[in-house]
Structure 1
């Protein structure tokens, strides 16, 4: 079963700190001596070595130079950038609003051939109608206190979602049954969203499975995650998006997806669950 994606991000940061600390020890330097060579406050090198402060590219270059290991800088910078991209807070991602992140991820969606998505909280973005997306993005904006560009963000999300109807892409999507009942928009928008699910699941490139609330499970409900081919898994938590690219971690999430798939119902039984949720709107 998946380990915490946050722990993976923390481990990546710790690995960078450990490499820098190793260079310092190999050079026979103390933290104070290294800080002096770099022109830093004496506590900075200690914070970096203990993983308390993420080093900038310039910090890593200065550190390696001080240790006589300039040839290590490029490799450690690459590892540090990867570690920092693994865990990015939503407030940072949405600091200028939500439109830009949707536009920036269009290339990822376009080059992905096989999408595997597990949703335990909301309808996945590529399946969202404009009304549903508007309600959801408004709630996120209000909760985070980030700039309100909801109208533009919804348009960008809809544009990105064209991959489900255009090009050579396959979608395997799993929704917890409870997601069908979470009202993140008004009843009219919820009804439109559920009706759209009934329509889109008829497409030959879409496999939509619903995990019944009362079904016997071998995998407990997890945080929502998106797998892009077998190259990247994006895990969504309350505070951050965590991007995993390590093959072992990707395999673990894909294993969880496969086991969750065995619990899901499709076709007529899935339609019945969606229709039931639709009728519950009154």
Structure 2
């Protein structure tokens, strides 16, 4: 969980505690009024649990300050904008999130990204994307809309061929060898990467496993112009928009790019990974 998100959740919890104490209520009193377990009141006040909008409305009413509900819900909206759980985003399948990605890509001139364990969605073949969506739906136990999601991801890739856009991506060499799909599918995917190297809108750098690093590629992230950074975790996706955070991720991207190889050197690493598949 991001430090910024947790800090904001703790601040929201402190505001809830303030409302309770102003009303002269103990934690036990509040729990009884709301019909909750005492532990829930404690978790909300200490920032260990994210409240729902209904929780906040009920809290404001229970503490005798119903007008505070709008303020509390506004704080929650700020949290949800930054920290979007996959359970909520994939409630109806993957297509909706892919269509959102299409929209973000269409309004972006410069897209930068780092991936450490998989091929970026913008560069995936349909088969690679298909296997990825199926596995992800199984893992998250979300509805399957595989073909619709694949079509949306392929539509997003149309931006790669539009004049005036630039896609600068760094790929950790290990991602070239991560067999998250069958070997023939991976072989076709690596061929696809090789074909992208000569595209004038794409700058693909591979970070060799043995490269000297100013900073390790701890996790993947995407930067959209200078207005948005997205970061995926196992349970959520963070949308980070404040200037200082964006600048930090831009510095991380710059430092990692110093260790990457491009052009024929990148081609050689991709070809080596393909040869290692040993398809016979």
- Where does residue 232 of structure 2 map in the other structure? 236
- Give the aligned partner of residue 197 of structure 2: 201
Deviation for aligned residue 1:214:
0.7
Distance of aligned partners of 1:50 and 1:268 in 2 relative to their CA distance in 1, 3 Å threshold:
same
**How big is each residue's C-alpha offset from its partner over 1:108-140, in whole Å with a ceiling of 9 and x where there is no partner?**
222122211100010000111111112222222
Offset at 1:174?
Answer: 0.2
TM-score when normalising by structure 2? 0.85
C-alpha separation in 2, matches of 1:259 and 1:250:
14
How far apart are the structure 2 equivalents of 1:275 and 1:208? 14
Q: Indicate whether 1:227 and 2:220 are aligned.
A: no
Cα distance, 1:220 vs structure 2 = 1.4
Q: TM-score, normalised by structure 1?
A: 0.85
Structure 1 residues 57 and 103: CA distance shift in structure 2, 3 A: same
Aligned length: 277
Q: What does the per-residue CA deviation read over 1:42-62, in whole Å, with 9 as the maximum and x for residues that have no partner?
A: 735444323344333344345
* Residue ranges of structure 2 left out of the alignment (5+ in a row): none
User: 1:128 aligned to 2:124?
Assistant: yes
Q: Which residue of 2 aligns with 1:104?
A: 100
* Partner in structure 2 of residue 172 of structure 1: 168
CA distance in 1, matches of 2:61, 2:200: 57
The answer to whether 1:187 aligns with 2:183 is yes
User: Is residue 95–residue 145 contact of structure 2 (8 Å, CA) maintained in 1?
Assistant: yes
Secondary structure, aligned partner of 2:6: helix
Q: Counterpart of 2:212? A: 216
Of 240, 243, 250, the match for 1:247:
243
Shift of 1:164: 1.9
Alignment match of 1:57 (pick from 45, 48, 53): 53
The corresponding residue for 2:8 is 12
Aligned mates of 1:32, 1:45 — CA distance in 2: 8
